[in-house]
Structure 1
Amino acid sequence: MDNMNLNKHISGQFNTELDAVRNNVLAMGGLVEQQLGDALTALHQQDQDLARKVVETDLQVNGMEVSIDEECTRIIAKRQPAASDLRLILMISKTVTDLERMGDVAERLVRMVLNNTSRPQPLLVSLESMGRQCIKMLHDALDAFARMDVEAAVQLYHDDDKIDQLYEGIIRQLMTYMMEDPRTIPQVMEVLWAARALERIGDRCQHISDYIIYCVKGKDVRHTKVSDPNAI
């Protein structure tokens, strides 16, 4: 972390603990990224075996969230961190919550496969395209987290705008399907939920960008629109 002073602690063990918990967050994020990719593939190919694998992975993601939160609590109780170190621990606790909820989205997506309900293929193609953009945004968010890169964090705001535009396009497409054939309404509503869940992944990645800015700059930028890292 170039912008932090983690190498200046008197206790080398404290450095080790902080590095370990940060690495665990990145490992959890990588697992969620894979989980989302597998979920989209399973949905597109209607692959029930892969869908069941995603459900199993979600249990692992849940366990990692609990483990990391417990480690954060232990560090706070034992080390009583202050300033940038405390912000880092708070950031990690919030980040794993957002990651776990992204994993829940993947698990819910594959329930559509396991329910074995037919859906118009063009709708699934649009959903997969949006989903791949969400995965890229998550990858970029994890990279910004690893480097504590404020400029990369600000870029995530622009990426979220692109995902919002894709979401609006899918909504228009879904409305057209329902108007042309009301019999498709139950299937379309399920796809609508999936699109909304993917749009929320973009929002959660933006949350991670907020946490990065807070950790590095010490400023809470939630509920604001940051466009210039130099203005923070």
Structure 2
Amino acid sequence: MDPLILTLSAAGIAVLHTALGPDHYLPFAALGAARRWSVARTLTITAICGVGHVVASLVLAAIALGAGSVAMQLTGITEVRGDIAAWLMVAFGVAYALYGLKFILREINSHSHAHAHADGTQHAHGHQHHAGHLHPHVALDEAAARKQGVVAVGWALFIIFLFGPCEPLIPLVMAPASQGAWLTVVSVVGVFAVTTIGTMLAIVWVLASGLARAPALRASAYVHSAAGATVAACGAAMLLGL
């Protein structure tokens, strides 16, 4: 096949593969809103996971080239890894949705009231009924918890995307590699990787920017459970082949 046509095909397939797979962008936008990440942080995590997503495919392609006559067995391996990624996404989504229930229960069982400080400033503190009327200032603890959340959620997404390789890249790479056309291989890999990650970033940017303009939604007690449900739904869609 002509190198230019193959490279252009890689770009087109990458865009379609990414845009038609909500699991490539909805988890990042949903979790970014729930965790109150900045758009920049959401995009950074998306890019890192995207790189892992593509690298996993390159590893499989390399194995296929080395396997020679048994390369067809990779089809089954890819399907199994895809199922693992889907189940991991469902499990993580359900777990995160359950984690979000504590915020819903806290909202139901709490209220706030205003009080004044000696310098004349006034603000409101929320409290739970079981905690009495104590008003601890926990800004530092919340900041530490959010930082830990970024690491935990980021690693979870990265591992999931490592198990979910870009299946279309494998045949695109094997075709020219089998003929020793290594410059074409480099071209195809580069274009596919940049296009895939670029499409992920573009869609996540649009979604994250839109959600950033809805502070009430991001502050809702239901946002964590909604984000978890979104991630689980993406995993379920993968299992159903949607």
TM-score class, shorter: 0.3 to 0.5
If asked which structure has higher relative contact order (CA below 8 Å, sep 6+), I would say 2
Normalised to the residue count of structure 1, the TM-score between the two structures is: 0.33
Normalised to the residue count of structure 2, the TM-score between the two structures is: 0.32
Higher strand share: 2
